[in-house]
Amino acid sequence: MAIVASLLLYSKYHGILIIGFTLCSNPKLFYKKSFYIIFVLAILFYLPHIIWQIQNNYPTIKFHLFDKESNFKLQNVVSYLSEQLGVTGPIFLLLFSILYKCKTSFQKTLKFNVIGIFIFFLFSSFKENVNLHWTAVARPPMLCLAYLYIRDLNIKRQIFIKKILVFNLIIVVFLRINFMFNWVKLPHFNDKNPKLMTKVLKTNTKNNPIVFKDMYIEPSYFAFYEHKKCFAINDIGYKKTQFNYLFDLEKEFQNKTISLISNDSINSTSLFIEILKGKSYYITEIPHFSSFITTIRIEAIDFKNLKSGLPCKIPFKIINRLNSNQKEKFNDKNIDLM
């Protein structure tokens, strides 16, 4: 159980929801000594990631709590509800899993996870966009409970529901095949056409190293299909991605002529391309490329002498590892606050 709990968190932070709702469904677990043994062992197994968080100044915690967009948009709520119906099948499955009267503590745990996870992400959609796959952890218990509910119905109702489910299965199979062959472009599902995108980018970048701006899905696609390294940079308004922590990879692109892939035009030389059944991009060739995504950190040194309403100077350090062979270089500067 300790290994399972730690692997849940390693695979996705949302694994904490399974652990949390399971404990909520059965508070008696808190009175068992084995619970605390499992808890301590799970922490030990998860310790490498905890250490990584500390060493990198808690990046994912800051991202989830502070860096995400937190404004209410009705579009996010509507998108969450419609997309969940699209991947979980008819609403009957979710409804049946909720209506089923649990007979065991295990079934009660399944129901707590189904209801808790879908409600948790429904509330999350009020402040941010909820990705389609985040609720995947609730689908296995949902299917189990829905099956038990249907099994207990009379034959006539079972036949009617099976017809609905067969119709739903046909839709799901069509969507899966559509993902493979890109017959119909669906936003948030298959709107990038990655194989063609990779081919077109390779053809139009003169074999230059490729750097993406304010993207993280496209560079992952490109690296996968082309078997070549690429990098991604982001401006201050874009969320941090895995590329913000790949120092050695970033260093390989410095002082080279690269092709920058962006959503907007960079300058008059930017080449506009549009991917069939995909998105549009701009390609800009940049000589002597330099970036500071993983390598620059600015630290203020002293705030003790600050006085409200008065001009002051704050000394700060610029830490740059790119040009110092991975050693930290400190440049003392002053900034005027008026």
Same domain (yes/no): 130, 268: no
Domain boundary among 113, 147, 181: 181
Q: Could you tell me what percent of the chain has a pLDDT over 70?
A: 91
Same domain (yes/no): 255, 316: no
* Measured distance CA(64)–CA(153) in Å, rounded: 43
DSSP alpha helix (H) spans, the chain = 2-11, 15-25, 33-45, 47-55, 59-62, 74-88, 91-99, 105-124, 139-151, 155-181, 194-204, 217-226, 247-251
Q: Give the domain range for residue 8.
A: 2-181
Same domain (yes/no): 116, 198: no
Identify which has the larger pLDDT, 305 or 230.
230
Nearest to 113, CA basis, from 20, 7, 30, 13: 20
Same domain (yes/no): 146, 227: no
Domain total in the chain: 3
Identify which has the larger pLDDT, 265 or 325.
265
pLDDT in tens, 57-112: 888 888 777 766 667 888 889 888 888 877 776 667 888 999 999 999 999 999 99
Same domain (yes/no): 158, 221: no
For residue 68, tell me if it sits in a domain.
yes
If you ran DSSP here, which 8-state letter would residue 129 be given?
Answer: P
Same domain (yes/no): 320, 176: no
- pLDDT score for 133: 84
pLDDT in tens, 172-212: 788 888 888 888 887 767 788 999 999 999 999 999 999 99
For residue 187, tell me if it sits in a domain.
no
pLDDT tier for residue 337 given thresholds of 50, 70 and 90? very low
pLDDT tier for residue 322 given thresholds of 50, 70 and 90? low
Same domain (yes/no): 227, 280: yes
Same domain (yes/no): 135, 37: yes
* Measured distance CA(97)–CA(321) in Å, rounded: 54
For residue 186, tell me if it sits in a domain.
no
Identify which has the larger pLDDT, 325 or 38.
38
Same domain (yes/no): 276, 203: yes
- pTM comes to 0.72
Domain boundary among 181, 213, 233: 181
Q: Highest mean pLDDT range out of 110-114, 129-133, 327-331?
A: 110-114
Same domain (yes/no): 235, 320: no
**pLDDT tops 80 at residue 47:** yes
Nearest to 138, CA basis, from 157, 159, 121, 155: 121
pLDDT tier for residue 321 given thresholds of 50, 70 and 90? low
Nearest to 196, CA basis, from 218, 228, 173: 218
Mean pLDDT score, 201-227: 95
Domain boundary among 159, 181, 203: 181
Same domain (yes/no): 302, 259: no
**pLDDT tops 50 at residue 16:** yes
